[in-house]
Structure 1
């Protein structure tokens, strides 16, 4: 990692501000991915992330049996969503797996 880049063209120098660094793209993506590991998201945060309405999300994702069987921690040991125990309860989403799921299943979800 470097904190500045110096390019000399006929005595021209370009310096990065102290607030910026240059990192390899794969390193940046890895850091970005690790930033959400172990963090939880609320239902509102997930809805905002994928830019849909709450009713649409409930109908097309959370209440779809084929999707629920993949994501509900009570139905699948590799799931990442804790469904509420009662009506009006809170959903909990493991951020890293939630983001990955929507990246990998975009076509399936939006074709329902």
Structure 2
């Protein structure tokens, strides 16, 4: 039995049509397993198993069409059930209260 040819991060990213930086994020979040190669302490060399890449694609596949775009879809009016205990007063009334108050000092 021969081992599958492992993909470099650049090859795996190209297969997914994403950047290597984005691929690293998926690896760091545990969504895509990696195989550590060598014994480097500072900069570890790693590769991706093609079978793991295929499983990652299957897990990420959406069915039933795309979700509506949240930034361009119609927004509904907010529903608010909160009540406020504040009182609405006229600005002139507030100004009259402040000028009628005794000065501090």
TM-score of the superposed pair, with normalisation by structure 1: 0.41
TM-score of the superposed pair, with normalisation by structure 2: 0.43
Structure holding more helix per residue: 1
Q: Which has the larger radius of gyration?
A: 2
